[in-house]
Amino acid sequence: MSPHRERIRLDRVTRLHASCDGDGDGDGDGDDDGNGNGNGENAGVHDVSLSIAAGEFVALCGRSGSGKTTLLGVLGLLDHAQSGRYLLDGRDVSRLGPGAAARVRGARLGFVFQSFQLLPTLSALDNVALPALYAGGSVRDARRRAADLLDRFELGPWRHRRPAEMSGGQRQRIALCRSLVNDPDVVLADEPTGNLDSISAERIVASLLDLRRDRACTVVLVTHDAALARRADRVLHVADGTVA
C-alpha cells in the first residue's frame, strides 16, 4: 500500500497491572495480560514504542498472557499509559482525563470485541445507532446512519431483530457496523473472528480490509489466527509485554 502519514505513535509506553496471583487481568478467555511474576505485579506492556500509519492494517499476535489486550486497551484509551507518550495524529492523548478520553473514543475510535458486546434488549438498528447518540447526534440521524451501515453489510432485513435472534456472524457484523457509525479514524478489534465459523470469519476479514481501502481507516487487530494475520499489512509480535 502507498505510505500515509503517521496516525499512532507510542513512545516508551508502560502500563502495569496489579495482581495477587500472577494470572493477569484477563479478557475472559485467559488472553491477557499475563507476564505475572507472582509478586503482586503484572507487566501488561512495558517500554513499548511503535508507529502505525493512517490506513494501515496491523495485526497484534502473541501467546495468551503476552500483553496484546492491554496494548489494545492503551490504544483505545481504555487503559492509560503510566509512563511514556501516546500520540494520535500528533496529539498527546496519554494524559487525558476520563471525560476528554471518552470524547476522543467516541469521535475517533471504533471497537469490535470477540464477545460482540451488543445490548440484548435493543434491536440491531439501535445497537448500531447507540454510539452516535452518545456522541450527541439526534435519534433520527443516528438511526439513518445505522440503517445505511446495516444495508452496506447486507443486514438490512435484520435491523429490527434483537441479538438473540441472529447468528454469531450476523451479530459480529452488527458489532462492526456499530464501530463505524461515528466514522472513526481507527478501528480496534480484539479477536473479532474468534467465535465465528470460517465463512462468517472471512466476511469480517473482508470488511476490515475494505475499511482500510475505502476509508483510509487504520485497523489494529488482535488475533491468534496466523492466516488472518498474514492478510494484514504488518504483524507486530507481542511477548512478555514488549513488541517486536
Residue 108 maps to a domain = yes
Please tell me the distance from the alpha carbon of residue 147 to that of residue 220, in angstroms, as a whole number.
25
Residue 118 maps to a domain = yes
CATH number where 101 lies = 3.40.50.300
Residue 130 maps to a domain = yes
Residue 220 maps to a domain = yes
What band does 24 get if pLDDT is binned at 50, 70 and 90?
very low
Residue 156 maps to a domain = yes
Residue 205 maps to a domain = yes
Please tell me the distance from the alpha carbon of residue 72 to that of residue 243, in angstroms, as a whole number.
12
Which residues form the domain of 156?
A: 54-79+97-243
pLDDT above 60 for 32 = no
Tens digit of pLDDT for each residue in 64-106? Answer: 888 998 999 999 999 989 999 999 999 999 999 999 999 999 9
Round to the nearest angstrom and report the end-to-end CA distance of the chain.
21
Domain count for the chain, please give it: 1
Give the global pTM.
0.84
Q: Are 65 and 34 in contact (CB under 8 A)?
A: yes
Closest CA to 42 of 25, 28, 61: 25
Task: Select the highest-mean-pLDDT range: 36-40, 70-74, 132-136.
Answer: 70-74
In 109-241, where does DSSP find H-type helix? 124-134, 139-152, 168-180, 198-215, 226-229
Tens digit of pLDDT for each residue in 162-198? Answer: 999 999 889 988 999 999 999 999 999 998 888 788 8
Residue 115 maps to a domain = yes
Q: Are 173 and 207 in contact (CB under 8 A)?
A: yes
Q: Are 93 and 76 in contact (CB under 8 A)?
A: no
Kind of pairing, strands 83-88 and 91-92?
antiparallel
Rounded (10°) CA dihedral 112, 116, 117, 122: 120
Q: Are 58 and 234 in contact (CB under 8 A)?
A: yes
Please tell me the distance from the alpha carbon of residue 228 to that of residue 221, in angstroms, as a whole number.
10
Using CA atoms, how far residue 200 sits from 118, 169, 192, 226, in Å, is 17, 5, 10, 17
Please tell me the distance from the alpha carbon of residue 72 to that of residue 152, in angstroms, as a whole number.
27
The residue behind cell 502495569 is: 16
Residue 16 maps to a domain = no
- Specify the pLDDT at position 18: 65
